[in-house]
């Protein structure tokens, strides 16, 4: 009797185990169906990543509608707009880890928008090599520890026109002495100056002071360069700096006001040929520079990030023209300044602004 009972007990235990084993596939099947219902398939997982991709695309494509009413967020976005493209490889890595086909395919949208906005800067149109003038623009930094070395580097660039900003009374004689042999003509107004191989006449200040700034603030000038290709009005400008501070945000009010004044001066210029050289403290995408960029043709081949010199992230130093064609542009090696020099070749002509 005891033997039978034990056998029956073992059979009961075995039966329970067998029953448990038979029910297990049913639970696994329900788990898979529950996972599919929760959006864990190849084409339904990664919806958050796909949403981020769409948001990045919208911010790039419609950056102009991002308001400046709160902290100048629109201008802040536009200052670093090319870097928004970095979201594509970051999201690609995340989509790969997530094994999401939906997120991977959605990355086509931001990639296409970025290419439409900036592809021409990677593969610029071929405008040939013929040019009439070579110009250099450089914020030499009022704390430059080696103005002589900076001046010698600029003199070796072979430019017809050299525009400098942040000139100090102490460093000015150094630049005058080094640049004079190849650039005998020069004019200085306040902290900006222009050196030229060709005669300069009618040099005068251009008032780009924001309201509330003192009368000794002189950071704009204009001169007529008498080149072999005709007289050209040359503007040199250094717009006010911008600041990113919490909780105020992106402070660009003075810069924007100064840009409007400079744009008005350019609009009133009587000469057909104009070259603008300057540290404008803004990128070409920044709406704050619209009073200038709407009237001028920027030299924008490549990205040409010029600031800060140690690790450039933004192009805020510019060469722009009216009645002339920027053929090519590039940055020169770093000097003692916190900006990189920017050089450009120019051909006389009459392209439309924005063309």
Residues 277-335 pLDDT 10s: 999 999 999 999 999 999 999 998 889 999 999 999 999 999 999 999 999 999 999 99
Share of the chain above pLDDT 90, in %: 75
Cβ distance 45 to 98 under 8 Å? yes
- Of 144, 201, 204, whose CA–CA distance to 175 is shortest? 144
Residue 61: φ, ψ to 5°: -70, -35
Q: Is residue 327 part of a domain?
A: yes
The pair of structure tokens assigned to 256 is: 């924007």
Task: Enter the pTM of the model.
Answer: 0.83
Distance CA 301, CA 114 (A): 16
In a domain, 8, yes or no: no
**Phi, psi at residue 109, to the nearest 5°?**
-65, -55
Residue 311 belongs to a domain with what CATH number? 3.60.10.10
Are 272 and 163 contained in the same domain? Answer: yes
Query: 7 in a domain, yes or no?
Result: no
- Look up the domain containing 55 and give its range: 47-122
**Are 231 and 314 part of one and the same domain?**
yes
Are 93 and 169 found together in one domain?
Answer: no
Nearest CA to 55 out of 93, 94, 87 is that of 87
Paired tokens of 265: 């001066």
Q: Looking at 94, 122, 150, which one is the last position of a domain? A: 122
- Per-residue pLDDT tens digits for 84-139: 999 999 999 999 998 999 999 999 999 999 999 998 887 765 656 789 999 999 99
Instruction: Collect all residues with Cβ–Cβ distance below 8 Å to 112 and sequence separation of at least 6.
Output: none
Contact 325, 297 (CB under 8 A): yes
4: number of Cβ within 10 Å: 8
pLDDT tens digits for range 136-166: 999 999 999 999 999 999 999 999 999 999 9
Rounded Cα gap, residues 86 and 111, in angstroms:
10
Choose one of 122, 148, 169: the last residue of a domain: 122
Q: In this structure, how many other beta carbons lie within 10 angstroms of the beta carbon of residue 332? A: 17
């Amino acid at each position: 009797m005891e033997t039978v009972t034990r056998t029956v007990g073992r059979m009961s235990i075995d039966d329970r185990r067998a029953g448990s084993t038979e029910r297990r596939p049913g639970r696994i099947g329900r788990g898979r169906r529950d996972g599919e219902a929760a959006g864990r398939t190849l084409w339904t997982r990664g919806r958050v990543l796909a949403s981020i991709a769409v948001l990045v695309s919208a911010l790039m494509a419609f950056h102009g509608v991002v308001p400046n009413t709160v902290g100048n967020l629109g201008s802040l976005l536009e200052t670093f707009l090319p870097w928004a493209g970095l979201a594509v490889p970051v999201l690609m890595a995340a989509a790969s880890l997530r094994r999401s086909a939906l997120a991977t395919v959605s990355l086509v949208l931001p990639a296409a928008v970025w290419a439409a906005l900036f592809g021409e800067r990677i593969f610029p149109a071929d405008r040939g090599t013929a040019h009439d003038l070579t110009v250099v623009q450089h914020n030499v930094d009022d704390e430059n520890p080696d103005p002589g070395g900076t001046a010698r580097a600029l003199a070796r660039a072979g430019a017809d026109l050299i525009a400098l900003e942040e000139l100090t009374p102490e460093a000015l004689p150094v630049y005058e002495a080094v640049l004079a042999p190849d650039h005998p003509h020069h004019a200085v107004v306040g902290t900006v100056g222009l050196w030229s191989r060709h005669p300069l006449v009618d040099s005068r200040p251009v008032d780009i002071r924001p309201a509330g700034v003192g009368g000794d603030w002189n950071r704009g000038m204009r001169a007529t360069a008498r080149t072999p290709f005709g007289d050209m009005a040359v503007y040199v400008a250094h717009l006010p700096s911008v600041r990113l501070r919490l909780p105020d945000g992106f402070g660009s009010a003075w810069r924007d006001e100064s840009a409007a004044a400079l744009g008005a001066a350019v609009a009133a210029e009587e000469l057909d040929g104009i070259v603008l050289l300057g540290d404008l403290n803004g990128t070409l995408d920044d709406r704050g520079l619209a009073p200038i960029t709407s009237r001028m043709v920027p030299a924008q081949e490549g990205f040409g990030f010029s600031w800060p010199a140690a690790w450039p992230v933004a192009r805020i130093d510019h060469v722009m023209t009216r009645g002339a064609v920027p053929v090519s542009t590039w940055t020169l090696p770093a000097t003692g300044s916190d900006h990189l020099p920017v050089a450009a070749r120019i051909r006389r002509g009459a392209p439309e602004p924005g063309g």
